[in-house]
Amino acid sequence: MKSTTQSRSYAGETVFVGIDVHKRTYSVNARVAKERVKKWTTSAEPQRLVEQLLKYFPEARIETAYEAGFSGFVLHRVLEAKGIQSRVVHAAAVEVAAHSRVKTDKRDAEKLATQLEAGRLKAITVPPVEQEHQRLLSRSRRQLVVQRTQCMNRLRMRAHQFGLIAPDDQRVMSHRLVEELLAQVEAPDLRIALECHWKIWKALDDEIASLTQALRRQAEADPHEATYCSAPGVGFLSARVLSNELGDLCQFANERQLFSYVGLTPSEHSSGEQVRRGSITKAGNRQVRSILIEAAWRAIRLDPSLKSFFNRLSARTGKSKGIVAVARKLLGRIRAAFRKGQLYLIRKIEEHPIAPHPLAKETVAVGT
């Protein structure tokens, strides 16, 4: 299709732009009045793309959309700063045609532009830059913990490979165990390999401890810390993740929006008068969802009302769906505490409250 951007006036019109973002390039597709008016590829430089959009579509209202990913929100912020409406969308929220086996950058950009124009793209919440920085501490710590676990598993694998650990040995991998294993090693090459992994493990321990201390300092200055920590099943590290990822839960207009953000919304398959709800969509923040599920398992041992709710529901739906429902209820109650400006209060099933949280001046009854 021949470009019409040089001869056509876009004054007063809305241009819908889909951007397929890659490390080195942007593939761009622009539509006006349900017609593609231009497509092009440019270098992955936000400022350059802004200049092109303003040049190609002067005096037009420009709306853009791109999928959230490795590139973060730099492009979004540059577009918004120049008066161009930007929408960052979750990749799972972009509709895919049935039986479609052709996927190219240009097709992806056109798909985004088409669905943006049709009003079928829902934007995710873009955090402030300060919150992104705060998230780096908890996210970096989690990544290092994963790396440490991998390092420990490599040591165990090598020990099994050379008969240093019996097949039925269930001992937890520890520094003391590594010392015992090295005492059995005579081959110099094997010792060097094991010590290499062990040094990395110890270095990761030091960095994880350093990040943990930084998180403690962060918690001291966080006004949301007390509210998150007052919830049953939520410990210090869990509270850091929830606070850094979700912030003040009052920012979510309702529980449906909050559950959608963390991926705790049940999938739905409806036909005619039948409505069937399945497993959760898992389209939201994976780390937050994992933390909430873990907290829910602990919470049912601490909160009698949540335990009663879990027992009733799991008897019908099974424990997996039951604990997801508990996670939703727990998160909803934490949001209620934020809305009241008070801490979470556990109530017994008989409605007799236990002693309030020691940090609380006033406490909201959210356990009912």
pLDDT of 216-249, one tens digit each? 999 999 999 999 999 999 999 999 999 999 999 9
pTM over 0.85: no
CA angle 139, 142, 145 (to 5 degrees): 155
Cα separation, 264 vs 325, whole angstroms: 8
Number of neighbouring beta carbons within 10 Å of residue 291 = 25
Cα separation, 249 vs 255, whole angstroms: 10
Cα separation, 178 vs 161, whole angstroms: 15
Q: Which DSSP string do the residues of 120-187 spell out, in sequence order?
A: ---BPPPPPHHHHHHHHHHHHHHHHHHHHHHHHHHHHHHHHHTTSS-TT--PPP-HHHHHHHHHH---
Phi, psi of 264 (to 5 degrees): -110, 20
In tens, the pLDDT along 313-337 reads 999 999 999 999 999 999 999 999 9
Q: For CA atoms 220, 224, 227, 228, give the dihedral sign.
A: negative
CATH code matching the domain that covers 14-117, chosen among 3.30.2270.10, 3.20.20.60, 3.90.550.10, 3.30.420.40: 3.30.420.40
In tens, the pLDDT along 263-307 reads 887 654 444 444 455 555 566 788 999 999 999 999 999 999 999
Tokens 């919440």 correspond to: 125
Report, as an integer, the average pLDDT of 138-155. Answer: 97
Q: What is the spatial order of strands in the sheet that 61-67 belongs to? A: 35-43, 25-32, 14-21, 61-67, 85-89
Cα separation, 221 vs 137, whole angstroms: 14
Comparing 93 with 55, the larger pLDDT belongs to 55
Residue 112 has pLDDT above 90, yes or no: yes
Report, as an integer, the average pLDDT of 143-169. Answer: 94
Q: What is the pLDDT of residue 282?
A: 60
Residue 103 has pLDDT above 80, yes or no: no
Using only the alpha carbons of the chain, give its radius of gyration. 26
Q: Which tokens belong to 145?
A: 């913990």
User: Which of 201-205, 259-263, 264-268 has maximum average pLDDT?
Assistant: 201-205
Report, as an integer, the average pLDDT of 49-69. Answer: 96
Q: What residue segments make up the domains of the chain, in order of their start?
A: 14-117, 129-220, 225-365
Q: What is the pLDDT of residue 353?
A: 44
Mean pLDDT for all residues in the chain: 88
Half-sphere exposure of 259 (CA within 13 A, CB side): 19
Q: What is the pLDDT of residue 275?
A: 43
Report, as an integer, the average pLDDT of 184-209. Answer: 97
Which is nearest to 232 in space by CA: 295, 293, 324?
295
How much of the chain exceeds pLDDT 90, in percent?
Answer: 74
Q: What is the pLDDT of residue 356?
A: 47
Cα separation, 329 vs 331, whole angstroms: 5
Collapsing DSSP to helix, strand or coil, 76 comes out as helix
Cα separation, 227 vs 361, whole angstroms: 12
Residue 368 has pLDDT above 50, yes or no: no
Residue 19 has pLDDT above 50, yes or no: yes
Residue 70 has pLDDT above 70, yes or no: yes
Lowest mean pLDDT among 1-15, 59-73, 200-214: 1-15
Q: What is the pLDDT of residue 348?
A: 67
Could you tell me if 27 and 20 are in contact, meaning their C-beta atoms sit under 8 angstroms apart? yes
Q: Which tokens belong to 50?
A: 């802004």
Q: What is the pLDDT of residue 345?
A: 87
Q: What is the pLDDT of residue 354?
A: 41
Half-sphere exposure of 40 (CA within 13 A, CB side): 14
